[in-house]
Amino acid sequence: MQQRQLGASGLSVSAIGLGCMGLSSGYGQVTETGEAVRLIRAAADQGVTFFDTAEIYGPFTNEEVVGEALAPVRDEVVIATKFGFAVKAGRQGVDSRPEHIREVVDDSLRRLRTDRIDLLYQHRVDPNVPIEEVAGAVAGLIAAGKVMHFGLSEAGVRTIRRAHAVQRVTALQSEYSMWWREPEAEILPALEELGIGFVPFAPLGKGFLTGAITPDTAFAEGDFRNVTPRFSADVRRANQALIDLVATLAAERGVAPAQIALAWLLAQKPWIVPIPGTTKATRLRENIGAAAVELSHEDLRRIGDALARTPIVPGERYPATHQALVDR
Helices (H), 144-227: 157-166, 187-194
* Residue 307 buriedness (CB in 10 A; 0-12 / 13-18 / 19+): middle
| 57 is annotated as an active-site residue | yes
CA dihedral 156, 162, 166, 171 (to 10 degrees): 20
Q: Are 215 and 233 in contact (CB under 8 A)?
A: yes
Instruction: Please check whether residue 172 is in contact with residue 203, taking contact to mean a CB–CB distance below 8 angstroms.
Output: no
Least Cα distance to 172 among 277, 101, 273 occurs for 273
Catalytic residue selected from 27, 57, 121, 176: 57
CA nearest to 276, candidates 293, 259, 297, 254: 259
Strand partners, 24: none
CB of 137 closer than 8 Å to CB of 98: yes
Cβ neighbours for 134, distance < 8 A, ≥ 6 positions apart: 96, 98, 101, 122, 126, 163
Q: Amino acid letter at 297?
A: H
Give catalytic residue positions: 57
